[in-house]
Amino acid sequence: MNEKEIILNAMKKAGEPLSAGKVAELTGLDRKIVDKTFAELKAEGAIISPVRCKWEPASK
Protein backbone atom coordinates (compact mmCIF):
# COMPACT_ATOMS: atom_id res chain seq x y z
CA MET A 1 0.00 0.00 0.00
CA ASN A 2 1.36 3.42 -0.88
CA GLU A 3 1.12 6.58 1.23
CA LYS A 4 -1.98 7.84 -0.58
CA GLU A 5 -3.90 4.62 0.10
CA ILE A 6 -2.78 4.54 3.74
CA ILE A 7 -3.86 8.15 4.30
CA LEU A 8 -7.20 7.78 2.52
CA ASN A 9 -7.99 4.57 4.44
CA ALA A 10 -7.21 6.26 7.76
CA MET A 11 -9.42 9.22 6.82
CA LYS A 12 -12.32 6.96 5.81
CA LYS A 13 -12.04 4.93 9.04
CA ALA A 14 -12.06 8.10 11.15
CA GLY A 15 -15.34 9.20 9.61
CA GLU A 16 -14.66 12.87 10.30
CA PRO A 17 -12.42 15.61 8.89
CA LEU A 18 -8.82 15.28 10.11
CA SER A 19 -5.82 17.57 10.31
CA ALA A 20 -2.49 16.51 8.81
CA GLY A 21 -1.08 16.09 12.32
CA LYS A 22 -3.88 13.71 13.30
CA VAL A 23 -3.41 11.70 10.09
CA ALA A 24 0.31 11.41 10.84
CA GLU A 25 -0.52 10.23 14.37
CA LEU A 26 -3.08 7.64 13.18
CA THR A 27 -0.95 6.23 10.35
CA GLY A 28 2.50 6.42 11.91
CA LEU A 29 3.78 8.25 8.82
CA ASP A 30 6.15 11.21 9.12
CA ARG A 31 4.36 14.58 9.10
CA LYS A 32 6.43 15.75 6.10
CA ILE A 33 5.24 12.74 4.09
CA VAL A 34 1.62 13.42 5.09
CA ASP A 35 1.92 17.09 4.05
CA LYS A 36 3.47 16.14 0.69
CA THR A 37 0.84 13.48 0.05
CA PHE A 38 -1.97 15.86 1.06
CA ALA A 39 -0.73 18.30 -1.60
CA GLU A 40 -0.86 15.54 -4.23
CA LEU A 41 -4.31 14.38 -3.10
CA LYS A 42 -5.61 17.98 -3.16
CA ALA A 43 -4.30 18.45 -6.72
CA GLU A 44 -6.06 15.23 -7.79
CA GLY A 45 -9.30 16.27 -6.10
CA ALA A 46 -9.21 13.17 -3.88
CA ILE A 47 -9.63 15.14 -0.63
CA ILE A 48 -11.68 18.20 0.29
CA SER A 49 -11.65 20.62 3.19
CA PRO A 50 -15.10 21.01 4.78
CA VAL A 51 -13.56 22.76 7.80
CA ARG A 52 -10.50 24.99 7.87
CA CYS A 53 -7.27 22.98 8.21
CA LYS A 54 -9.12 19.66 8.24
CA TRP A 55 -9.57 17.28 5.36
CA GLU A 56 -11.72 14.32 4.33
CA PRO A 57 -11.97 12.08 1.27
CA ALA A 58 -13.89 13.70 -1.59
CA SER A 59 -15.89 10.52 -2.16
CA LYS A 60 -17.12 8.88 1.01
Distance, in Å, from the CA atom of 23 to the CA atom of 8, rounded to the nearest integer, reads 9
Q: What is the pLDDT of residue 47?
A: 97
CA-wise closest residue to 50 among 9, 13, 17, 7 = 17
pLDDT, tens digit (0-9, with 9 covering 90-100), for 2-60: 999 999 999 999 999 999 999 999 999 999 999 999 999 999 999 999 999 999 999 75
